[in-house]
Structure formats: structure tokens, C-alpha cells
Amino acid sequence: MKKTNAMRELDKANIKYEVIEYEVDEDYLGAISVASKTGADITKVFKTLALTNDKDELFIACIPGSDELNLKKVASAVNSKKVDMLELSRLKEKTGYIRGGCSPIGIKKRHLSLIHESCLQKDFILISGGQRGLQIKINPQSLIDFLNMRVENLIIE
């Protein structure tokens, strides 16, 4: 297995993590598929979502795989009137990653990153390892501290 930018950054910072590999199904790249392929609890599989505001600033939000992002809550958390999902055609350009392999770690440059508050009740979470078929198992507080993430309630309830 080749090291990804996400893994190299964690190694450089001496942050403990584990890599979990799984078989990729190009038709089902979502977190529910990741959970079923890895045997992980879907509430511990956090998907990485890229968003922009009206000033074209990039924001990253990580939420549990079975939940839906609340754009109004994100907008409020980042002090913007409105945020939208980043257009898929711009994902690689803005983050350096492709759909199904976007990690909050190793993005081209650091951006304001948010994570759903439920992560604090988990001993570990899974996030994308920076390429399809790779997940990083990490302590949520280690991730929060490393990326200086803001912990928020980000989901539709």
C-alpha cells in the first residue's frame, strides 16, 4: 500500500492511526458502503464533505455516514449567510482529492474544518485515507487537535 498525503501528514506529526483497506465498488462510494465493506459501525464512519460560501471560501465538514448535513447549521458555524456543497467538478482542483477519497487531512491548504459533536462519544472514528479503498482509524480528539477542527452540531435532526 502506497502512503497517501493524509498518512504522511499524520506520520510527520507522530499521530497514531491505523489504515483499513477495503474493496471499492465504483457504483457505491458512500459511507454506508464503506461501513458494510469494513464491518464498521456506520456512526463511526465519518464522511468528509467540501463546501463553499458566497466568497468561494472552502470549508470541510465531517459527519457520521448515515446522517445528512444541515447547510444552515454549517453556514452559521462558519459565519456565512449561505454555504453550498462544492461542485464535484471542482473537488480535485480545490482539495487535491477525488469523490470517494476525500480526506479532511492532506488537503492542498488548510481550511476551516468542522466535525460533528457525536465524534466525542467515540473511542475511534474512520475517515477517508485520501484514496478510494482506504480508511484511517483515528482517535477523534487527535484528529480535532491536529486539524484544529471546530466541534459543532452539523446534522439534520
- Tens of pLDDT, residue by residue over 13-46, are 999 999 999 988 777 778 888 888 899 999 999 9
**Mean pLDDT over all residues of the chain?**
94
Domain contains 28: yes
- Provide the residue range defining the domain that includes 144: 5-152
Q: Structural domain tally of the chain?
A: 1
Domain contains 129: yes
Domain contains 79: yes
Q: Which residues touch 112 (CB under 8 Å, ≥6 apart)?
A: 57, 59, 60, 78, 150
> Are the beta carbons of 60 and 152 closer than 8 angstroms?
no
CATH number where 145 lies: 3.90.960.10
3-class SS at 20? strand
Domain contains 157: no
C-alpha to C-alpha distances, 73 to 13, 46, 70, 104, 155, nearest whole angstrom:
31, 17, 5, 19, 8
Which pLDDT score is estimated for 28?
A: 73
Q: Which residue has the cell 470517494?
A: 100
Percent of the chain with pLDDT over 70: 99
Predicted confidence (pLDDT) per residue in 118-155, tens digit: 999 999 999 999 999 999 999 999 999 999 999 999 99
Which pLDDT score is estimated for 26?
A: 77
Domain contains 134: yes
